Amino acid sequence: MGNRNPLFPKASSEAHDLMVAHLGRNVHFTLALMRRVWPEALSGLGEPMAIEIEVEKPVEGARGFLVGFVDVVMSVLAFRRQVGAMEQRYFYVECKSGRWSLGELLRQVEFYRRHIPPGRAGYWTVVSPTEQFVDILEQQDIGFFRMEVPSPLLVNRAAPGRLIIGDASPMAILEQLQHSHVEQL
């Protein structure tokens, strides 16, 4: 975790890394956070069948060049009964462990939004222990969640989260996907 690429001098700290690790390894917590910040994004969907979380997810430009890293990306796959189809939602999280620049954050999110493929467009959230600029973030369609930096003793150091819910195995989900229309919103 943290800044592994010297070409992108991201001011990373232990506090930032703990926040990213906590969100990346606690699938239920991160899903609850997204339900709280973006209730409309998950309304109308059944219970999620699969959730995947990636940390420090690379963002590539049109020609395949690396343009940056999103701290946490969560994808949720669920069945929408009203239309009889599987749907996938994407949630992008930037963790800010201390004071941060609004202008820099807005430029960063807009830059990433332009480089994420349209089929993977999603909902953006800033997670920080300091409540700064919440109204302005909401005006820019960026959610906010106040979260204290977790204790290093509480952060699970396992691999980022992947969760298959209920009786659905990965093969069952793939079979359902092959027999239904998938909408990516």
Model pLDDT for residues 78-106, shown as the tens digit of each residue = 887 777 788 899 999 999 988 889 999 99
**Structure-block tokens of residue 33:** 């956070």
What is the percent of the chain with per-residue pLDDT over 90, rounded to a whole number?
43
Please provide residue 110's backbone torsions phi and psi, each rounded to the nearest 5 degrees.
-65, -40
What average pLDDT does the segment 37-44 reach? 89
184 pLDDT more than 90 = no
Domains and CATH numbers, the chain: 14-162 (3.40.1350.10)
CA separation for the pair 96, 11 (Å, rounded): 10
Instruction: Look at the chain and count its residues.
Output: 185
CA separation for the pair 59, 61 (Å, rounded): 7
Q: Could you tell me the pTM of the whole model?
A: 0.78
Mean pLDDT of the chain: 80
Tell me the three state secondary structure of residue 94: strand
Which residues have CB under 8 Å from 11's CB, separation 6+?
3
156 pLDDT more than 90 = no
146 pLDDT more than 80 = yes
**Comparison of pLDDT for 153 and 33, the residue scoring more:** 33
pLDDT at 25: 84
**Structure-block tokens of residue 169:** 């195995």
pLDDT at 76: 92
CA separation for the pair 185, 145 (Å, rounded): 22
